[in-house]
């Protein structure tokens, strides 16, 4: 898969929209678009989103190369004062059937192609069972003790009484791990709900919580999950996305998985009603 920047999959969750050339893709009025949010902050169009720009689009069924054909105006990519902003959006053209529902687009060089690709794509179904809880509930609560801080103390009792659930889990392939299992954990801790994507191996939890914010109220059960390993060498990323029309707005998530744990590199939403907080 020559030409695809491997650094793209290690982007920090603190980096800005479009970091490492990765953007969320949405279907709007029959068009596949990337919103140009960079122009809001910098006052100029992102050069990658101009006509002629090329992207590897990864979706619900696979991946393929698309081109930016034109620009259009759109709402739902950003809000100000609880009102949607009119943004430029790059319109993508390419083999939609090969991709399914679009999730993310990765900027690629002009000569990039998939002819020699070793990429591995998998849809992930929920494999959470009673055995999942037996093996991971104890480690999850133990990890909560180390993650919760309370000025008045009592962290251990807070963690022990926390309501913890595992909404999603699936086996994945990660280099250096014999049987990795990715989960989405929800924890109600002292009146606060927190959702995390985590990586486990043999009953051990690896790395820290990769946060999945819950402000738009899309329940985990309404998200679809896929795994895409661009090199085929056990360095996948996990994508989560809304497939049906949700209550508050569409969401796009991206996580890089390594044997050290997961890292969030993309969280985004499209909500023309401008719900605060996301």
Average pLDDT, the chain: 85
Give the whole-angstrom CA distance, residue 159 versus residue 147. Answer: 9
pLDDT beyond 80 at 58: yes
Write out pLDDT tens, residues 111-122: 898 888 899 999
Write out pLDDT tens, residues 165-181: 999 999 999 999 999 99
Q: Among 33-37, 77-81, 89-93, 124-128, where is mean pLDDT lowest?
A: 77-81
- Angle, alpha carbons 143-144-145 (nearest 5°): 90
Q: What is the dihedral sign for C-alpha 213, 219, 220, 223? A: negative
Cβ(65)–Cβ(108) under 8 Å?
yes
Write out pLDDT tens, residues 179-188: 999 999 998 8
pLDDT beyond 70 at 161: no
pTM: 0.87
**Residue 18 CB partners (closer than 8 Å, separation 6+):** 37, 38, 46, 48
| pLDDT band, very low/low/confident/very high, at 269 (cuts 50, 70, 90) | confident
Nearest to 260 by CA among 215, 207, 213, 212: 207
CB atoms under 10 Å from CB of 154, counted, come to 12
Q: What is the dihedral sign for C-alpha 7, 12, 17, 22? A: positive
pLDDT beyond 60 at 110: yes
Give the whole-angstrom CA distance, residue 200 versus residue 267. Answer: 22
Write out pLDDT tens, residues 130-156: 999 999 999 998 888 787 754 455 555
- The pLDDT value recorded for residue 3 is 39
Mean of pLDDT values over 199-211: 95
- Among left, alpha and beta (phi > 0; psi -120 to 50; other), residue 277 is left
Provide the 8-state DSSP code for 182: E
pLDDT beyond 80 at 158: no
Residue 117, classed as helix, strand or coil, is: coil
Provide the 8-state DSSP code for 195: E
Write out pLDDT tens, residues 210-229: 999 876 567 899 899 999 99
Give the whole-angstrom CA distance, residue 97 versus residue 95. Answer: 6
pLDDT beyond 90 at 262: yes
- The rounded percent of the chain whose pLDDT value lies above 70 is 85
Q: State the alpha helices, DSSP H only, in 83-128.
A: 96-99
CB atoms under 10 Å from CB of 101, counted, come to 19
Q: What are 163's strand-pairing partners?
A: 188
What single string gives the DSSP state of each residue in 23-78? Answer: EE-EEETTEEEEE--HHHHHSS--GGGSTT-EEEEEESS-EEEEEEEEEEEESSS-
Cβ(235)–Cβ(119) under 8 Å?
no
Cα dihedral 58, 62, 67, 71, rounded to 10, equals -60
- The pLDDT value recorded for residue 46 is 86
Residue 116 dihedral angles phi and psi, to the nearest 5°? -110, 25
Write out pLDDT tens, residues 8-56: 333 334 456 888 899 999 998 899 999 998 776 666 778 899 999 999 9
- The pLDDT value recorded for residue 156 is 55
């Amino acid at each position: 898969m020559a030409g695809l920047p491997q650094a793209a999959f290690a982007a920090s969750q603190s980096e800005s929209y479009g970091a490492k050339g990765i953007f969320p893709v949405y279907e709007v009025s029959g068009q596949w678009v990337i919103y140009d949010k960079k122009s809001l902050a910098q006052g100029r169009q992102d050069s990658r989103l101009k006509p002629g720009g090329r992207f590897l689009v990864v979706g619900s069924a696979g991946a393929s190369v698309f081109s930016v054909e034109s620009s259009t105006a759109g709402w739902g990519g950003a809000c100000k004062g609880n009102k949607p902003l009119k943004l430029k959006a790059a319109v993508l053209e390419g083999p939609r059937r090969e991709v399914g529902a679009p999730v993310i687009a990765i900027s690629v060089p002009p000569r990039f192609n998939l002819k020699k690709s070793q990429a591995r794509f998998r849809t992930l179904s929920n494999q959470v069972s009673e055995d999942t809880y037996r093996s991971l509930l104890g480690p999850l609560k133990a990890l909560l003790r180390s993650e919760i801080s309370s000025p008045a103390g009592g962290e251990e009792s807070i963690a022990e009484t926390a309501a913890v659930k595992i909404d999603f889990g699936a086996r994945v392939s990660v280099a250096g791990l014999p049987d990795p299992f990715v989960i989405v954990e929800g924890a109600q801790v002292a009146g606060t709900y927190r959702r995390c994507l985590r990586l486990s191996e043999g009953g051990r939890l690896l790395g820290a919580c990769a946060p999945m914010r819950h402000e738009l109220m899309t329940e985990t059960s309404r998200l679809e999950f896929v795994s895409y390993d661009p090199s085929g060498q056990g360095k996948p990323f996990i994508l989560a996305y809304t497939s049906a029309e949700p209550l508050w707005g569409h969401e796009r998530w991206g996580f890089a998985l390594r044997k050290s744990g997961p890292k969030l590199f993309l969280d985004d939403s499209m909500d023309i009603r401008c719900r605060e907080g996301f």
